[in-house]
Amino acid sequence: MLKLVLSKRYIFTLTAQLLSLLLAVAAIKLAAVLFDAANFGLYNVVRRYITILNYPLLFGLGISIPIYVAKAYMSRIAQAHLVTTGFLWWIFLTILLTVLNLLIPDVITKWLLGEGYEYLTWPILFGFSCLYLYTILYASYRGEQNFGRANVFQVFSAGIIPLIALYMSSGIVERYLYIYAALMFSANVLVLIDLYKRKLLSRTSKEELRVLSEKFLKFGLPRMPGEFALFGLMSSPLFIISKYDSLEMAGYVAIGFTLVQFVASLFEFIGTLMLPKSAQLISDGRYEELNHLVRKLSLYSFLVACLVSLIIYFNLEYLLGLLDRNKFIDHIEYARIIIFCIPFYIVYLIIRNPQDALSLKPFNTYNLSACFLLQLILLLITVNIAPPCKKLVLYHLSVIVPFILLGLLTFINWNHQIKKHLG
């Protein structure tokens, strides 16, 4: 029966992940139609900045909430206090940023975008606040393993709402942000009502709020550098190539990263399910079962990722031709070699959540930081030492080698840590 329930969860969560991905692609196409060239660029930059703001100010709540809520599955009251603490963090940060912007007007846009975009300050602040609350509420659903509600919430908030906001924006970025924030806030309120009715929001004492906040920060803060290291692994080659070679070459390499992220999105739903499940198994002391589950999923995912990578590799000319044959086909080698790192990156995606649930120490951060440092060294060698004829090869190595190493380190580290619990 458990396998049947899990299989249904996998199917529903995969469906939600794919649907969200398709809706995101549709949103990009709609934005390209509605916005002119300047506003289309501004739209993409603003969306990216809102997401980047979300990373450090979450303080790891996106992963700590599901873990601790899942571990407290035997007590509804304990779960409610954890969810309430996350909700109060959202209130605190929203008030803090609002007061900061009132004291230093337009500080957010001047810092992120420079002069001339002051009119976007409040819509960016509202958009960030709603995305922050969405992350906490979605994490709460994951923690209680209520994947039906989590999947619906994800598809609606991450897929449908941006499309509606774009359609109603009339090609104006400011209007898009206001509509997006209003719709996201409405969806968040509905989820808050649902959590309150099911007794997952409750009054929490100051002492308990302090204790739980310390617990969240103790878990989340050491993991923040890992998030930035992962962002660096995906972005630094593009920044370096665009600065020291050409934007054109960076664009070709970016196509390879897009393929990696597209395949990764097909496997990320497994991590969504594995995080609370791992926390629950650890809470029950069922380490043997957890190890068997992680090894099984890692092996199957690695093999499937190898198969998908081979299919992409041998059909890359056709796939890039769908985008723009004249633009990409002549430079197919820029993207093709990056495909080899996909299976190893998938292994990291499968194991990282159980690894975080298993230990308070941020082993994923250690692995990501080491791989990012290696990548920077390879890029610096490429820029400062390598002859021009060798640069393309070294650029490729700076992408492939760190991601292969990341998968291997994650797998080795998992085996080392789980053995301590298996005795």
- pLDDT over 90 percentage in the chain: 38
> 332 φ, ψ to 5°?
-65, -25
Overall average pLDDT of the 174-191 stretch: 95
| 334 Cβ contact partners less than 8 Å away, ≥ 6 residues apart | 249, 252, 253, 255, 256, 392
Higher pLDDT, 167 or 380: 167
For residue 132, pLDDT beyond 90 = yes
pLDDT in tens, 12-33: 777 887 888 788 878 877 887 8
For residue 2, pLDDT beyond 60 = no
Spatial separation of the C-alpha atoms in residues 268 and 351, rounded to whole Å: 11
Higher pLDDT, 353 or 317: 353
Q: Indicate the residue type of 359.
A: S
Spatial separation of the C-alpha atoms in residues 422 and 136, rounded to whole Å: 33
pLDDT in tens, 45-101: 788 778 777 777 788 788 889 989 988 888 999 999 999 999 999 999 999 989 988
What pLDDT is recorded for position 5? 46
Alpha carbon 129 to its chain's center: 17
Angle between helices 388-422 and 247-265 (to 10 degrees): 30
Higher pLDDT, 246 or 209: 209
pLDDT in tens, 270-318: 777 788 888 888 888 899 999 999 999 999 999 999 998 888 888 877 7
The lowest-confidence range among 81-90, 252-261, 271-280, 377-386 is 252-261
pLDDT in tens, 72-86: 888 999 999 999 999
Q: Which token pair is 365?
A: 């951060």
Higher pLDDT, 75 or 38: 75
pLDDT in tens, 393-409: 777 788 889 999 999 99
Q: What DSSP state is assigned to residue 58?
A: H
**Nearest residue to 156 via CA among 127, 193, 184:** 184
Angle between helices 287-314 and 316-328 (to 10 degrees): 50
**pTM value?**
0.79
What pLDDT is recorded for position 257? 72
What band does 219 get if pLDDT is binned at 50, 70 and 90?
A: confident
pLDDT in tens, 226-243: 888 887 887 777 777 766
